[in-house]
Structure 1
Amino acid sequence: MNLFGDGDEDKCKGDQYVKPGATDTTLQLAISLTLGLSAFLTFCIIRPRWKSLYAARKRRLDPSIGLPALPDTFFGWIPALYKVTEQQILASAGLDAFVFLNFFKMAMKLFTIMFVFAAVVLWPINRRYVTDPPPDHSDDEDPDKSYDPNLGYLWSYMIFTYFFTGLTIYIMNKETFRVIRVRQDYLGTQSTLTDRTFRMTGIPKELRNEDAIKDLVERLEIGRVESVSVCRVWKELDDLIEERQKVLAKLEESWSVYLNQKPMHPAGGPQNPTGSNGGGPSEANSGVREPTDEEAGESDQLLRNPSHNPWIDRPRPQTRFWYGFLRLQSRKTDAIDYYTEKLRQLDDKILAARKKKYKAADNAFVTMDSIAACQMAIQAVIGPRPGQLLTKPAPSPSDIVWRNTYAPRLGRRVRSWSVTAFVCLLTVLWTIPVAFLASVMSICTIEAVFPTFAQSLREHELLRSLVQTGLPTAVVSLLNIAVPYLYDYLSYHQGMLSQGDIALSVISKNFFFTFFNIFLIFTIFGAVAPTWEVLRHSLKDTTYLAYTLAGKIENLIVFYINFIMLQGLGLFPFRLLEFGSITLYPIYRLGAKTPRDFAEMIQPPMFYYGFYLPTALMIFILCLIYSALPNGFLILGLGVVYFTLGYYTHKYQLLYAMDQPQHATGGAWRMICYRIMLGLVVFQLTMSGYLALRSVYTVALLVTPLPIATLWYSYYFKRRFEPLTRFISLQSIKRGEDPGADAVLDDDEPPLEGGEGQRELFRRGSTVDEDRERGLRFVNPSLVVPLVQPWIYKEPPPPLPSSLETGDGLEYDGRGNNRGAEYEVQQPDVSAPEAPGNNRPARGASASSNSSSSVSLGDTHIWREG
């Protein structure tokens, strides 16, 4: 079919989309393979050389977990990664990683089966009977052609719509049973502080104290309360801690600038300890120290030997501060002295603020003596009044956003509604560039605006393919990469109480953007002009949307083939390469000044599910929609390739290279299932509209029960399955008196990869969550975190002196954890990082939580001039 025949002006009166063409697909395949193979081979070359980046997480894991080390050979790591079992995934990466990877495995299994049937059965039928364009039956006497022998092949579409729907629900249902079984066994066998703690909200004012809440819960006779932590309005203290982090960073930067200065008299001035005239590296950077009297302080040495002081002639950094009425006056002063004094004043204020009593909020964390008692409290209705004494599972202490625990409920609701409204507004605004991008796919639109350029496209096939298919695919892929960062920022400011809830919210928002803008706007509307026409007709006739979807989706198959091809073959190797970290490393390396900056640079990158899962879900839905259509086997085949590459790429990242900052206990699975059901409904509506457009109305009508059945199944899923993805069943909890108990859920289910007993699947002494939470408490870190001193030299500052303990009889490390916990804190060599790593600490993490040792404000005065 010639889309661009000369003199055919009627072709430009409607929306002309890219039809299946060998040139478009071949060109995109060449581009994707070139990008993917170059990135993959580069990864294989530098992986054994940059282990601080590509094995950052493995180097921090406890050896008892048993995660195998990957060989340093060029391709030898691939079979070793393949052999890593699900048991080892659970033991080393946790439940969230298992659920995420299980979605990719389920997609591989489902689309492999669908591809076989689409290629063996449907493709020969389509090749024999499908014509392009379809025959026009508008003049026929009988409007329904369902029993026309020439159109009998369309009944196979209806049959395969039922078959693929049933197959999807069957496999999803089976995997849901499996995920629930693993989740119940995993959470039932561990014993963490979080598993024994629930969050109580809507507490009346008369009950907002520890004793009253403890008495209330124990009178329920469900168990003994070990501790109660009432959230209070700690805004003053949190603000002081936040301000201290900023001052500390400025002080460390000032010291870095000062120590890297050259002496003012390098030729005739005093000689520095390194033996050079000031041109060599300073002690702070070289790590070389002058021999000194061990009993004399360093400041005494500088005072007694001023001729050997390498810093006395160096210009000290200056800073400008504002003062007076409305801070209209300013002057410069010594930056080190200024920030040191400011830090001392803040420390005094923080120590005083920690002794104050703050107003109680309506939230509290209640820790029970057993997991069973906690689960009974969570799954029960405690208060007789609506909105009061509500119980919910508690997030991990390290996941809590403490500022939101004392924020007024109305304020958090207003923030949530505001962010939701803003996201809806953004969705509408996104339609303009996306619809314009879709219209670019029509050469008729290009000819109306740039006739000369359109003529060039007609004459050069490769250029036309690049503009009409390659360029939109690349732009849509860039949108999928950039937009999640915006929605991540919005979710963080929405007022949620835990990082896990924020992560699930990011998944929801990013999927909504991907599905609505990348699929619906691109498919249905196509251009800005027809958008309002489609909406107007859809309001009058509810079937118009299905007709429009079915009429245009087949014409976009090349675009979606190219999109999946680029995402799988082209971009997954770049994710494996961690191209972003490598690209940004030189920038952050140039901006890093202090030892703390260098230490943060070589931390493992963070893996955020909200950045990766929405695109995978969108491609899953695309594979469903195109599965029974002509040439759908191409989409299904690429879907198998996409999910296979995605599984092993993310498997490597989650196990060996990247850390997971959130702890959502596998809550993403219910979101995955609901979006799969949404994809099934779109698939069924598309097939019904596709059949109706070919005048086989009886066949189209026979498809309509499927969306109703799918909606019923979603209600059934919510009632039967969803509670088990949120809570722990009482029967799954392992009591102390039955240490050898086996799994209690569905013994007929196949075991996980590894072939061991159920209870031994998840632990080698402890789960990854137990290791993560060891020593943590439900305490605002601002109350207990050590006041770290400036990190000036290559070595971290000294530990916290016993005289400056936090006041509760316990000493805490730089993470705010009890020193009694068996944490192994590795101090990186910040002078020469081995390879690019994470550029910044995790979102929302304070500098104190990323410090590598327990420290306190101390001896910065020794650096002042004598």
Structure 2
Amino acid sequence: MAANMAAMANIGAQNCSSPNPTDPHRGQTDFYVQLVLSLALGISAFTGFCILRPKWKSLYAARKKEIDAASELPELPDTMFGWMPVLYRVTEQQVLASAGLDAYVFLAFFKMSIKLFGIIFVLTCAILVPINKHFDRVWTPGNNTEPDPPDAMLLLQGGYDPWKVNWDLAAMAEDGELIPETGYLWAYTVFTYFFTGLAIYFITKETGRIIKIRQDYLGSQSTITDRTIKLSGIPRELRSEAKIKEFLEKLEIGKVESVTLCRDWRRLDGLMERRTHTLRRLEEAWVKHLGQSKARENGNSHESHPESHEDNDETENREEDNLLGENHVTTYENERPTTRIWYGFLNLQSKKIDAIDHYQEELRKLDAIIIAARKKKYEPTPLAFVTMDSIPACQMAVQAVLDPKPMQLKAQLAPAPSDIVWVNTYLPRSSRMLRSWIVTIFILLLTLFWLIPVAGLAGLLNLCTIRQVWKGLADTLESHRVLSALVSTGLPTLVVSLLNVAVPFLYDYLANMQGMISQGDVELSVISKNFFFTFFNVFLVFTVFGTASKFWPILQQSLRDTTVIAFKLAESVNALGDFYINYVLLQSVGLLPFRLLEFGSVSLHPILLMTSNTPRDHAELARPPIFSYGFYLPSALLVWILCMVYSILPAGWMVLMVGLIYFVFGYYTYKYQLLYAMDHPQHATGKAWPMICYRLLLGLGVFQLVMAGVIALKHAFYPGALVLPLIPLTIWYSYYFGRTYEPLTRFIALRSIRRESDAAVNIADEFVGIHRPPGNERRQSTTLDEARERGLKFINPSLIVPLDKLWLDKKPDSSGDTPVFDREESAASSVSLGDTHIWRDNGEENV
């Protein structure tokens, strides 16, 4: 038996002749190098934010300036760090009132994680760290202990049966040749149960709290969305507003207030899109004609140029002639711009013409066509938005089965009117399904493609792998510890982090191509897709398969023996503890301050400013950046899973410590952005919470699988086997969660709905001293949803939106503040002159 052990060790030595620089026992240099890099990045970004924040309020206080719901938030001081205590004191009620349910749920996940891992961190440091230090090798910087037993090394290299190796070692223990210490592993089993129960307790408790808040919030408001259902699968014989109304009222659910039957508005939407493009081209042509200096003069009072008053009058008279006639004589800074048009057979002939006249004429024709197109009747589709007279009627409709035929007359909650993607409402269901399948298949192919860069990065973690490819580089890294740490730890963590930043943009595009009806559904899809990439490619592939050369052999072994994945996952998790510590450290200390800085917006602003020519372009620059949960939530979920997976292992206290830092920094970073800097126009009403919970339960399953493998690999089969029942119990809880809690995160309970008359009852109760239980009072103030849905209707904007007029007002002044104009008010205050409009500014007329 001893000969077999020696042979196995010799094979391992031949395969890897140099130590692994990411061994958790040799991670001192790697950790300190990563800490220095992260602090350098984080401190510089945070300092830059603190300096720029009071000077660039159009970016860092954009939401506070532009969104009415944020106006009630406390003002942040302009001092370097004075904003921090004010932000800290912003309550959850203020978050709910200002940013809505989606922001509240997102921040609640971070707050729950802080509480959970705070408790686990204390227990780990108090109990598990001493146990690991006495019986196992606990991870500490510079702790150079002996490597794991040979079976672990051979398993990492693949090609050996884990059960055979362990049974051989067990037989050796019986023969007295090897006596492993396994009694302490019962503590691993106990804490696996305890941490699983603690996590489920926090998930359940937070779910109950969110349900209560959500039911009270939605039940005490009254918006058109709360009273509207999306009716799909409408048969041809019912495709008219009158028949749909008659059908629903016969069910005696409630009265129908209005019906919007979606029709094939493809041509009208195309005309509106073409008109928007033409209008922008016309505005660009006018700005080019006016010239930069003349455009600025047009935004200022003529009193600063009294000597040119007569010339200005003459110029305006001549320009009026130009707009109405053929004379193009002008005193503007630049000549009138031209554009090339194509005509003739197959558009093979072209000529240059006056751009302003061309776009004005095209705009005039489009306006006439659009006005006529709005009066036409279009082919109805199987989709309609039905507004009921009350919220209870709407909720009863969506929680009932309306028709005995499958996929026919399905009632679902309608998205907010501003959230609907109208171009997808007239897409056939078969087309949406086809798009969904194509995107799904494409994502699966992308998943295989990501194996190449991810496996390459995993190869950098092992000096032996680098030696196989480039022996000279491996020798250099082996002789320079700092350089080795930069290549083997700093570079992979940075590239993986950059992948987590870049890939969501691709998946966001793919989600938008699936043809979903609302932007809220698109965002939930982005969360799902990005988490799949993060969890599968960054965690499972990176951890289980290591490099591309090991992918196929391990996959073949796992098909023959399902336990291979568990053992491989357990061994790799132990070996990659140092990498994931540095990864979470970079995410928390190094990169979260860059999110606060809004580095992307800051770096792109000069480019966007240079390419923005018209007042409309400049006004769009002043809009708050869009906050997308699909870009930020998957990374936080991965950090949560890593904290759970490593909580009991020797490296657990370090992973938990940097994980706590991540969730604390992330909570206040995103709290600032959601309240003051960025806008979230989607209307998901907190529906991301069940998605979060299911992925946390998936993480618990991985945690239990890893712990079972870790304990079994240390030859303690009974403690390891006792962990396995936790996996089916977690699966059962996920089904229990879906049946018990998820419906309350989707619907409004009828008992939670307060009618308008309840408000008067509550006031009377307060007057006579009656105190109702908490949550039974109707909110007296207007909610965020009520404010932003005031006056909205479920009508395609192409049918009713006012046609935008030419926008040639002043550009940003020297202070950098961009004036934002209400387009309808501007149109009402303009004087029509042909197809161009003169905007009034300080009593003067400017073209």
TM range (shorter): 0.7 to 0.9
* 1:34 matches 2:40: yes
Q: Distance in 2 between matches of 1:837 and 1:658?
A: 19
| Contact 1:436–1:528 (Cα < 8 Å) also in 2 | yes
The C-alpha deviation readout for 1:160-215, integer Å capped at 9, x for no partner, is 10010000000110000000000000000000000000000000001010000000
Aligned to 1:221: 252
Alignment deviations for residues 338-380 of structure 1 (CA, whole Å, 9 cap, x no partner)? 1111111111111111010000000000001110000000000
Residue equivalent to 1:264: none
For the Cα contact (< 8 Å) 2:66–2:624, is it kept in 1?
no
**Quick one: which of 786, 791, 813 aligns to 2:807?**
791
Look up the match of 1:76.
82
* Pick aligned residue for 1:557 from 577, 592, 597: 577
**Structure 1 contact 17–555 (Cα < 8 Å) conserved:** no
Other-structure match for 1:19: 23
- 2:728 maps to 708
Give the corresponding residue for 2:790. Answer: 774
- List per-residue Cα deviations over 1:32-81 (Å, max 9, x = no partner): 11111111112112211111111111123448963111112221111111
Quick one: percent identity of the two aligned structures?
A: 54
**Contact residue 603 and residue 837 of structure 1 kept, 8 A:** no
Q: Does residue 1:830 correspond to 2:812, yes or no?
A: yes
Counterpart of 1:237 (choices 268, 276, 301) is 268
Q: How many residues align?
A: 786
1: CA distance, partners of 2:19 / 2:561: 21
Residues 547/837 of structure 1: CA separation in 2 closer, same or farther (3 Å cut)? farther
TM-score scaled by structure 2?
A: 0.88
Q: Distance in 2 between matches of 1:433 and 1:629?
A: 28
Q: Which residue of 2 aligns with 1:826?
A: none
SS at match of 2:721: helix
CA–CA distance in structure 2, aligned partners of residues 581 and 653 of structure 1: 13
Question: Contact (CA 8 Å) 1:438, 1:522: kept in 2 or not?
Answer: yes
Q: 1:209 to 1:192 in 2, by over 3 A?
A: same
Contact 1:581–1:837 (CA<8 Å) still a contact in 2? no
1:323 CA displacement: 0.9
Contact residue 294 and residue 333 of structure 2 kept, 8 A:
no
Structure 1 window deviating more from structure 2 (288-297 vs 131-140): it is 288-297
Aligned to 1:730: 750
Whether the 8 Å CA contact 1:197–1:394 is kept in 2: the answer is yes
Measured after TM superposition, the shift of residue 437 of structure 1 is 1.1
Q: Is the 8 A contact 1:594 1:792 kept in 2?
A: yes
Q: Which residue of 1 aligns with 2:155?
A: none
Runs of 5+ unmatched residues, structure 2: 1-10, 138-145, 151-165, 763-772, 839-847
- Residue identity matched to 1:830: P
**Structure 1 residue 381: deviation in Å?**
0.4
Q: CA deviation at 1:765?
A: 2.3
The structure with the greater share of residues assigned to helix is: 2
Deviations 1:204-258 (A, max 9, x none): 0010100000001111111111000000000000000011111111111111111
The alignment status of 1:185 with 2:216, answered yes or no, reads yes
Alpha-carbon shift at residue 834 of structure 1 (Å): 2.6
Match of 1:407 in 2: 427
Query: 1:789·1:858 contact (CA, 8 Å) conserved in 2?
Result: no
CA deviations on 1:463-521 (whole Å, 9 max, x unpaired) are 00000000000000000000000000000010100000000000000000000000011
Indicate which of 93, 111, 117 corresponds to 2:117: 111
Q: Indicate the residue corresponding to 1:686 in structure 2.
A: 706
Contact 1:684 1:706 in 2 (8 A): yes
SS in 1 for 2:758: coil
State how far apart, in whole Å, the 1-side matches of 2:452 and 2:334 are. Answer: 58
Secondary structure of 1:629's aligned partner: coil
Deviation per CA, 1:129-181: give whole Å up to 9, x if none: 11443456734437799x97822111111111001000000011000000000
Query: Aligned in 2, Cα 1:143/1:670: closer, same or farther, shift over 3 Å?
Result: farther
C-alpha distance in 2, partners of 1:194/1:258? 46
186-195 vs 730-739, which moves further: 730-739
Following superposition, the deviation at residue 701 of structure 1 comes to: 0.5
Matched residue type, 2:353: T
Asked if the contact 1:302–1:309 (Cα under 8 Å) also holds between the matched residues in 2, the reply is no
Aligned equivalents of 2:47, 2:520: Cα separation in 1: 35
Question: 8 Å contact 2:69–2:98 — kept in the other structure?
Answer: no
Alignment of 1:10-409 (within 5 A): 10-12=14-16, 16=20, 18-20=22-24, 21-62=27-68, 66-131=72-137, 132-135=146-149, 138-141=168-171, 150-260=181-291, 283-284=297-298, 286=300, 288=302, 298-299=316-317, 311=331, 314-409=334-429
Q: Structure 2 vs 1, CA of residues 241 and 625 (structure 1 numbering), >3 Å: closer, same or farther?
A: same
Say whether the 8 Å CA contact 1:134–1:694 is kept in structure 2. Answer: no
SS of residue matched to 1:560: helix
Aligned match for 1:587, one of 607, 611, 615? 607
Q: Is the 1:208–1:361 Cα contact (8 Å) retained in structure 2? A: yes
Check the 8 A contact 2:101/2:214 in 1, yes or no: yes
Q: Counterpart of 2:500? A: 480
Q: Secondary structure at the match of 2:576?
A: helix
Deviation per residue, 1:598-640 (Å, 9 max, x gap): 1111111110110000000011011111011112011011111
Structure 1 unaligned segments of length 5 or more: list them.
1-6, 262-278, 743-755, 795-828, 839-847
Instruction: Decide which of 586, 597, 603 is 1:577's aligned counterpart.
Output: 597
Structure 1: how far apart are the matches of 2:571 and 2:760? 60
Taking a change above 3 Å as real, the CA distance of residues 232 and 514 of structure 1, as seen in their structure-2 partners, is same
Which runs of 4 or more aligned residues in structure 1 lie more than 4 Å from their structure 2 counterparts after TM superposition?
13-17, 142-145, 279-282, 289-304, 306-310, 835-838, 848-858, 860-864
Other structure's SS at 1:141 match: helix
- RMSD of equivalent CA atoms: 3.2
Question: For 1:321 and 1:645, how far apart are their aligned partners in 2?
Answer: 55
User: In the alignment, what sits opposite 1:461?
Assistant: 481
Asked if 2 retains the 8 angstrom alpha-carbon contact of 1:789 and 1:857, the reply is no
CA distance in 2, matches of 1:505, 1:624: 25
Closer, same or farther in 2 for the Cα pair 1:494/1:862, shift >3 Å?
closer
Say if 2:289 and 2:333, in contact at 8 Å, map to a contact too: no
Task: Provide the C-alpha distance between the structure 1 equivalents of 2:516 and 2:833, rounded to a whole number of angstroms.
Answer: 40
Whole-angstrom distance in 2 between the partners of 1:413 and 1:554:
42
- AA aligned to 1:240 is L
Report deviation, 1:12: 2.0
**Cα distance in 2 for residues equivalent to 1:105 and 1:142:** 49
Taking the aligned partners of 1:51 and 1:372, their CA distance within structure 2 comes to 43
3-state SS in 2 of match to 1:584: helix
Instruction: Report the Cα offset of residue 429 of structure 1.
Output: 0.8
Change (3 A) 1:65 1:142: same
Q: How far apart, CA to CA, are the structure 2 residues paired with 1:200 and 1:854? A: 37
SS at match of 2:260: strand
Which residue is equivalent to 1:802? none
Deviation at 1:833, TM superposition (A): 6.6
